[in-house]
Each structure stands twice: as C-alpha cells, then as structure tokens.
Amino acid sequence: MNAPTPWTVATVREGLVAKKISARELADEFYGRIEGQNPTLNAFLTLSKERAYTQADKMDALIARGEPLPPLGGVPIAVKDVISTRDVRTTCGSKILETYVPPYDATAVERLERAGAVVLGKTNCDEFAMGSSNENSAYGPVRNPAAPDRVPGGSSGGSAAAVAAGLAVAALGTDTGGSIRQPGSFCGIPGLMPTYGRVSRYGLVAFASSLDKIGPFTTNIPDAAAVLALIAGYDPNDSTSANVPVDDYLEAIERPAGGLRIGVPEDYFGEGLDSEVKERVQAAISVLEKLGCKRIPLQMPHTDYAIAAYYIIATAEASSNLARYDGVRYGVRVPGSTLIEMYRKTRERGFGSEVKRRIMLGTYALSSGYYDAYYLRAQKVRALIAQDFEAAFQKADVILTPTAPTPAFCLGEKVEDPLQMYLADIYTVTGSLAGVPGISVPCGKTKAGLPVGLQIFGSHFRESVVLRVARAFEKNVTS
Amino acid sequence: MKISREDVLRVAELAHLELSAEEIETYRGQLDEILTYVDKLKELDVSKVEPMAQVLFSSTGEDTENSHQELREDALHPCDVAPAVLSQAPDAAKPFFRVPKVIDR
C-alpha cells in the first residue's frame, strides 16, 4: 500500500501560514484518505467529523484574522479508543462499552485540542488495551499498512496503522506492557512511552494502574517531541501525575548525541531473537557509535523473569479495575432476575475471551491462598527488574535493545496460543515494570520488507535524552 | 496440573463471570499453561526484597529524590455532572441507578 504525502507538524504549519491549504481542506483531505483506506485497515472505529471541522474552522478563523497559530494548529490527530473524548463514543474496543459516550475529555486530548489539534476520530485497539496484535478488538482486527496480511501490533494497533498509512499526522496511544512501542516497531514509525506519571491519565480507561501510560505515535522525532511537550506535566485531576518540570524537548533533540553512553544489554540479544531483527538493531547501534556515542556492554540479569512478573501484576490490576463493568452505571446491561445474575450475564456477554482470561488469571493471583505465591512474589521480582535498570543507568545514559523479537507476524498466527502471544512482549515489559521512558524508532526493514524497531530506554523523566538519541539516529539514516 | 475445573469455577464466581462449559475447559488448560510458565519466578530468592507496588513513591514513604508525590488541597470543587453521568446509565431512575431487587422482603 502506498502511503500518500506524509504531512508533519511542520509542513501543516507551513501550509496553513502560507495559505496554501486551509485547516478545513486539510481535514477534508484526511477524511478522504480514511474513507479510501479504512475499509481495508480498520484503523478507525468512530469519526468525530463535527468536532474536527469546528476546530478546523476555528484555526482558519485565527489565520484569517492574522492571529498566531497555536503549536498544533490544524494538525489532524487520532486518539486511541481507550482515551475519553467528550460527546464522542469511546468503546475501548469492547462490546460492553459499545454505546458509551463520555461526558468529559481526557486531559491529554483536552491539551492537544487547546493547542489547535484537530481530532479526526477514535482508533481501534485490543479490548481494554489487552493484546499484542489488535486481534482482541470486538470490532475486528486492524491490518498492518506495511503488509496487510500481518498484524499492526497491539494494543494501540489502530493508532499506529493510522499514522503509518498517513491517515493522521499523529495519534495518541497507550502503553502498559509495550502497546505503543511494539506497534510502532511493526508499522515502521516512532512510538513513545513516557515515564510513568509524566503524562496525565485523567480520562484514560484503566487497565493496569501501576503500568498504564499515554504517549504519541508520529512519523518523525520532532513531532513526537512536539506532542509530548504538550501532553506532559502535572495534572491535579490525576493523583499519579508527577509534579516534575517538563524539559524543552524540541530544543533537546537537536543537540548532538556524540559523547552519550549507550548501554547494550546482552540479555536482550539471546535466544528467540529473529536473526534479521538482530542484524538491523546491531547496525543501528553501530550508526550511533559512528556518531560518537560510547558503547557500554550491560548485564540486566532479571530480564528473563519480566514476562512472568508482568502478566501477574497486569492481570491482577486488571481484574480489580474491570470490576466496574457490571451493567449498572454505563455501557451494556444484560438483564437478570437478581443483581448477581445481571452482573454475570452482562460481563459474560460484554467481555471478549482475552479480557475474561486476564480477569480470571488476575483474580486467581489475588485470591486467598495464592496471593503470596503469585502477586506478592511478582511485585518483588518487579523490584529486582527496576534495580537492573537503576544499575544500568549508573553506567549508561540510554539502553538500546530490539523493540520486539520478530517483525510483524501474520494475522491469526498466535491467537490460539495466549502464552506465545505474551512471550512476544519480552523486550518491552521490562521498562514498563521499571516505569522508565522508552521509544521505538524504525531502523530498517527485513528482506521481506517488514519494519524493524530499535528500542531506546532512558532513566525516569529523561525523555529528552531518549528523544535526542532517537533524533540523532533518525537524522543519520534519513539524510 | 496446577489448576482444576473447580478452581476455574471458583475464580469465575469471584470475578462474576458466567462461563460456558467450553470456556471452562479452554481457560483451565490455558491458565494452567500460563501459571506453569509463571512458576519460573520461584527460581529467584526474593526473601530480602521489598515488593514494588508502584513507581513514583518510595516504598518507605519517605520523601526522596525519586518520590514525586503531589497531594492536592482538600478543598471542595463544584461538581455538577450527575445529569451527564446518568444519561449513560442503562436504566436510570433519576437521580438513581436502577437495579434488580436486592433485598427480599
């Protein structure tokens, strides 16, 4: 599939300011692209045309009056359907919220819209963000724009596919165990997971509260920096948002990367890593070495335990968070003769199989007699994984790894085997557990033409360094 | 076998899930496989490790460099959202949510 002219934050701005195109015409162009490609890709679940055109007209009015355009003025964006949008249906990829229309905006959406962004619509995802392939959506899978017989990755598959196919300039996704970075890798675009607490989660439908983060997909690093700069920062409506100053990311990314210490943990290059992925990632590391970065070999010995710890912690938190879907206050209700029967029928009918599987696993891990053996032990192993990261960041400024062990796999390839699907998250869940920021940047393609991603981790709140290394790499391979 | 059919039924009841006969067997097998994998956590000695419940605050509750705890003022803010919230309810009898009868009398 040929991607049309890639618009970026910068080219949208140039076009609007020079009056080569209006914000309304730009919205028209993107809706035209969506109309053409969405029947194949299934990236969008709901379009918010009224809201988009109202905002576009507002931007056009500013330009007509000669007033300054806000930083994302007229930039068409998409929002993952687990993030609340006022008066625009938010399904979380689930039947149980098929008709749910939030009465308020998530802070991240509100901030982007205040900065002039035009919200085109809501993107498909694995149900309640639980999945690594987007095949767990109640509204059908998304196809990978780079290879339509393959998955776009998950859970933010719709957001990744939309940006990769040129159906939005940027998109918000969410990352709990890799749900931004892995689809970024599979679709061949940058996907950034910020530090835990960096971006407000007010209005994000909760999956695993100690792990969930909101972050952007874009087509280049300056756009990722521009979006992060707007959504980052303390929000009194989210008690887990951190009151830490926000760096000037746009300035930071243009600083040369020479002299930075790049840590390479051997634990991420062992068994299970596809040989072509390994080759591309090693080549990317060499590029950074040539730019003057100093390669530091690292050991992160608890990496191999991350999947087990992650899938206990994430499912335990999910089983608690998803208890709220009971057919009482919102969403679908299936009637029953008693309250309990109503709960059970509603949840049986409303949830898909992966969501039920995770609720079962999490409930089991938290249940009397098993709590110490599973949940408590997983939390202790989480501490060991976080210590691996702390020790690594004593020696290195960033950590470089593959984002995923393989390129995008085929639709249907892993659906029957949940454990195999979980194991594919091996390189992303580590950073999720530690709460550090990480990005996936495209670092070439396999012989079959499938994108490969380089993952860059930084220490807490050091998104500026992560983006700076990503930018140095991007500039070197695109120029 | 780590997990029996009875375990699955007990967990389904705790989680308010009504499973079909087929789902019970499928989940039993899959949960068994996943929990067997998770057993690798037992290889590690964690007897001296403090559990990590979250990222932002230190486990001792002390205000350290890595704690970014922010408590807001305990002040009242007007909150007039009831009509908007109730408009999403499957069965609202304003100002209440209506559910099947809970008390038998």
pLDDT, tens digit, 9 for 90 and up, residues A9-18: 999 999 999 9
Each residue's pLDDT tens digit, A35-59? 999 999 999 999 999 999 999 999 9
Q: Residue B24 domain-assigned?
A: yes
Burial category of A64 from C-beta neighbours within 10 Å (exposed 0-12, middle 13-18, buried 19 and up): exposed
* Closest chain A residue by Cα to residue B83: A103
The contacts found for A276-281 with CB under 8 angstroms, 24 or more apart, are A276/A407, A276/A446, A276/A447, A276/A452, A277/A402, A277/A404, A277/A405, A277/A406, A277/A407, A277/A446, A277/A452, A278/A402, A280/A443, A280/A444, A280/A445, A280/A446, A280/A452, A280/A454, A281/A400, A281/A401, A281/A402, A281/A443, A281/A452, A281/A454
Would you say residue B60 has pLDDT above 80?
no
Q: Is the pTM of this model over 0.90?
A: yes
Q: Look at A305 and B41 and tell me if their CB atoms are within 8 Å.
A: yes
**Token pair recorded at residue A185:** 């890798």
Stretch 50-69 of chain B: residues touching chain A, C-beta under 8 Å: 50-56, 66, 68
CATH superfamily of the A261-301+383-478 domain: Amidase signature (AS) domain (3.90.1300.10)
Q: Residue B51 domain-assigned?
A: no
What residues of A are in contact with residue B19 (Cβ under 8 Å)?
348, 356
Site from A200, A339, A380, A382 to mutate, B interface, most B CB atoms within 10 angstroms: A380
Give residue B53's pLDDT band: very low, low, confident or very high (50, 70, 90): confident
Q: What is the mean pLDDT of chain A?
A: 96
Q: Residue B74 domain-assigned?
A: no
Measured CA to CA, the distance from residue B101 to residue B105 in angstroms comes to: 10
**pLDDT score for B59:** 47
Among the partner-chain residues B52, B84, B90, the one whose CB lies closest to the CB of A383 is B52
Give residue B72's pLDDT band: very low, low, confident or very high (50, 70, 90): confident
Q: Residue B21 domain-assigned?
A: yes
Site from B5, B13, B17, B27 to mutate, A interface, most A CB atoms within 10 angstroms: B17
Average pLDDT value for residue range A433-457: 98
**pLDDT score for B73:** 81
**pLDDT score for B102:** 84
**pLDDT score for A479:** 53
| Catalytic residue numbers of A, as ranges | 80, 155, 179
Would you say residue B57 has pLDDT above 70?
no
Average pLDDT value for residue range A373-398: 97
What residues of A are in contact with residue B46 (Cβ under 8 Å)?
377, 380-381, 384
Segments forming the whole domain that contains residue B23: 1-44
Give residue B54's pLDDT band: very low, low, confident or very high (50, 70, 90): confident
Would you say residue A2 has pLDDT above 80?
no
Give residue B74's pLDDT band: very low, low, confident or very high (50, 70, 90): confident
Q: Residue B3 domain-assigned?
A: yes
More confident residue, B70 or A151: A151
Q: Residue B83 domain-assigned?
A: no
CB pairs under 8 A between A and B: 171
**pLDDT score for B61:** 47
In 3D space, the residue among A276, A266, A304, A303 whose CA is nearest the CA of residue A407 turns out to be: A276
Give residue A304's pLDDT band: very low, low, confident or very high (50, 70, 90): very high
Indicate the range of A172-176, A203-207, B1-5 predicted with least confidence: B1-5
Q: What percent of chain A has pLDDT over 90?
A: 97
CATH class of A9-252: alpha beta
Cα separations (Å) of A278 from A292, A293, A446?
22, 19, 10
* Closest chain B residue by Cα to residue A101: B88
Number of compact structural domains in chain B: 1
Give residue A245's pLDDT band: very low, low, confident or very high (50, 70, 90): very high
**pLDDT score for A43:** 98
B34: domain CATH number is 1.10.20.60
What residues of A are in contact with residue B31 (Cβ under 8 Å)?
357, 360-361, 364
Average pLDDT value for residue range B56-74: 60
- Boundaries of every domain in chain A: 9-252, 261-301+383-478, 308-372
Q: Residue B67 domain-assigned?
A: no
Average pLDDT value for residue range B14-26: 95
